[in-house]
Structure 1
């Protein structure tokens, strides 16, 4: 795959003058400056045909486009994307992807709107028919409590955009001991995970025994995207939804939520996998 990405050394943010109001001991106002996470329209164009426009942080767009293409089933393997180029104009950003002709034919056949996202409307009967897609089976790793807590405790240190703006989600790839190996950020939680999956795909795929950690809730699409990428365990800072748990059960994916310091909930542990408790 040939990539010609847009590269930005700085974080994708801007600064805006605000009024800061404080009222601990009587209200008063002061002028201040706040960092805002950039949110721009990103169009994904396959073999010259526009497929989707997503609102996203304008960083790591090569990873985003590749991850989105994989998790949405547009391509099955990274090598089916021959070329990828990011272009910018006054309206936003466009990612042009050249994919295998067979995959393009399948995409034309589908010609569907994106499957409904939580919080978004479903567009017509076709979207309803395709909202819940088959989920592949995965091999769940034997996660320890210590690994989950170690990763959780260091996530904030790897989220530069979140630290600067307070307005981005993070998705991290962690090894079996809980050390964070890779992080991607975005204003959208799905986008952050797609970026992580794209980055992992460009590096040969998820390493054995690792797990994904996300700073959001674990919804259906987060579980589905993880399983689609061969990720066997997903840890979320917030709760899981009912459909996410059902999908994790079908895929054999280990699902952990409400991961907070000193506590986390295991929503699903695959049958035959005994709890592993390690301290350290």
Structure 2
């Protein structure tokens, strides 16, 4: 066993020549009707799904039809997304404040507290729970995470509707981006949020609850535990928030309990 202070010679570690086993990330510059909006770090695929989901969950647009066009072009070292929205939404974008650079880290890029936590409408009744076979949820993720199988270090989000046998899965280096992508994918396909459930592999922070609730989803399953603020917001919006521990019974947080910060 080496003694502290002795020199230990370790074999040199050489990185793979083409980095085939590493996850990719690129900057995506976003412009709306010619106005620079933000730069976000994302995985370089499913751009249309990401833009649609992000614009909906952030309230930049209210429906898919308000996005008229998405044009993606290479812009070394990343890409540029030129989005055209309706005139009404362009006016609102001009009135809102956005930071110009974002690391894709959810609330961290907001410029004011009221922007990070906009007023929420408390639902009168708990919305129906979209049930799933939680014993198969991890296996379902593993079967659909194609990028993670290659490179690892990827978050995933799914929309599942048992009635129509629909499973949509999106991946990204950012957990918020992965959720935006699958929400965009589901809504672009005309699927109804209340007919299925969302699931995420990542820690469930308050911003994931915000995104799910903003787009009308009723149920969010997470493979990592939620934060206290996420639970509190789920109570306010009546989102069914269910934590699925490994090898344990799922935990659905009771709206009558108070998880104080």
Give your verdict on TM over 0.5.
yes
Query: Relative to structure 1, is the Cα distance of residues 227 and 130 closer, same or farther in structure 2, using a 3 angstrom cutoff?
Result: same
2:113 aligned partner: 128
SS at match of 1:37: coil
Q: Is the 8 A contact 2:32 2:85 kept in 1?
A: yes
RMSD in angstroms over aligned alpha carbons? 2.9
Taking the aligned partners of 1:240 and 1:176, their CA distance within structure 2 comes to 24
Q: Return the match for 1:75 from 61, 74, 78.
A: 61
Write the deviation string for residues 204-227 of structure 1: whole angstroms up to 9, x where unpaired.
133544111101011111001001
Query: Relative to structure 1, is the Cα distance of residues 164 and 222 closer, same or farther in structure 2, using a 3 angstrom cutoff?
Result: same
Q: Is the 8 A contact 1:154 1:180 kept in 2?
A: no
2:25 aligned partner: 39
Q: Return the match for 2:147 from 161, 164, 171.
A: 161
Taking the aligned partners of 1:56 and 1:36, their CA distance within structure 2 comes to 14
Shift of 1:154: 1.7
Q: What runs of 5+ residues in structure 1 fail to find an aligned partner?
A: 1-26, 272-280
Q: Is the 8 A contact 1:151 1:174 kept in 2?
A: no
Write the deviation string for residues 244-279 of structure 1: whole angstroms up to 9, x where unpaired.
1111011111001243244322124699xxxxxxxx
SS at match of 2:22: strand
Aligned length: 242
Q: Return the match for 1:142 from 110, 129, 132.
A: 129
SS at match of 2:204: coil
User: 1 or 2, which has the higher strand percentage?
Assistant: 1
Once the two structures are superposed, the pairs formed by residues 203-222 of structure 1 within 5 Å of their partners are: 203-222=189-208
Q: Return the match for 1:248 from 234, 253, 261.
A: 234
Query: Relative to structure 1, is the Cα distance of residues 43 and 28 closer, same or farther in structure 2, using a 3 angstrom cutoff?
Result: same
Once the two structures are superposed, the pairs formed by residues 176-215 of structure 1 within 5 Å of their partners are: 176=162, 181-215=167-201
Question: With structure 1 as the length reference, what TM-score do the two structures score?
Answer: 0.77
Shift of 1:147: 1.8
Question: With structure 2 as the length reference, what TM-score do the two structures score?
Answer: 0.82
Q: Is the 8 A contact 1:245 1:268 kept in 2?
A: no
Taking the aligned partners of 1:139 and 1:113, their CA distance within structure 2 comes to 35
SS at match of 1:140: coil
1:259 aligned partner: 245
Match status 1:236 vs 2:222: yes
